[in-house]
Amino acid sequence: MPQKRPLFLLSYVAPNQKSCIPKNHLAACLYVYQNNIIMDTTLKSAAEGLNHLIIIANDGKEGYAQAADIVARPMLKAMFSRLATERAEFATQLTVLVLATGTQPESGTGPLGALHRVWVEIKSSLVADDDDAALKECIRGDETAVAAYETVLKEHALTAEQQNIINQQLRLTSDALFSLRQELHGNNV
């Protein structure tokens, strides 16, 4: 991304000299320059938070796709496939928001998500009931996602539109987490 430049070049005028810039214009120039710095910081904060959520969504997409491959029950396969598609849609929505900030969006997954998927693979090969093991790992993944969404909402400067989309995704992730827990609880009764 190209470096942003100040809108105005401010020059020093010695106290005993007259400025060619009227004082009210100089104050306006300083105000605009200062607000651009604040705006850059706000956009950067939003982009960082949104990019983190893109990685979380991509991790979720990959995790759910992997879980769909592991489980035997058709209902779980369908649920995990649907949730993988939903997480891909989350990543797409977040990518659009990042692009609107003028920042390059993330496109991959995170190292912790990759480690988690390897762990799921190892665990599923050792555990007799792959369905419950996959459910437990998907629950763990969505708990991490919910925490990440809450952190971004609390710690990053977001526009109303960004907040609305993140809150919607948080609600859908929380709903999925509830359903996964219900499925695990119902299966263990």
Domain-wise residue ranges, the chain: 46-187
Handedness of CA 118, 76, 53, 89 (dihedral sign): positive
pTM over 0.85: no
The lowest-confidence range among 68-72, 74-78, 82-86, 151-155 is 68-72
pLDDT at res. 36: 45
Which burial class, exposed, middle or buried, applies to 163 when counting CB atoms under 10 A from its CB (0-12, 13-18, 19+)?
middle
Q: Which two tokens stand for residue 165?
A: 């989309």
Is the pLDDT at 112 greater than 90? The verdict is no
Residues 6 or more apart whose CB falls under 8 angstroms from that of 20 comprise none
Helices (H), the chain: 23-70, 74-100, 111-126, 130-155, 160-187
Neighbours of 169 (CB within 10 A): 22
State the CATH architecture for 46-187: Up-down Bundle (1.20)
* 39-48, 81-90, 128-137 — most confident range: 81-90
pLDDT confidence bin for 158, thresholds 50/70/90: very high
At residue 114, does pLDDT exceed 80?
Answer: no
Poorest-pLDDT segment among 37-41, 53-57, 102-106, 134-138: 37-41
Task: Give the pair of three-digit tokens for residue 137.
Answer: 């790992």
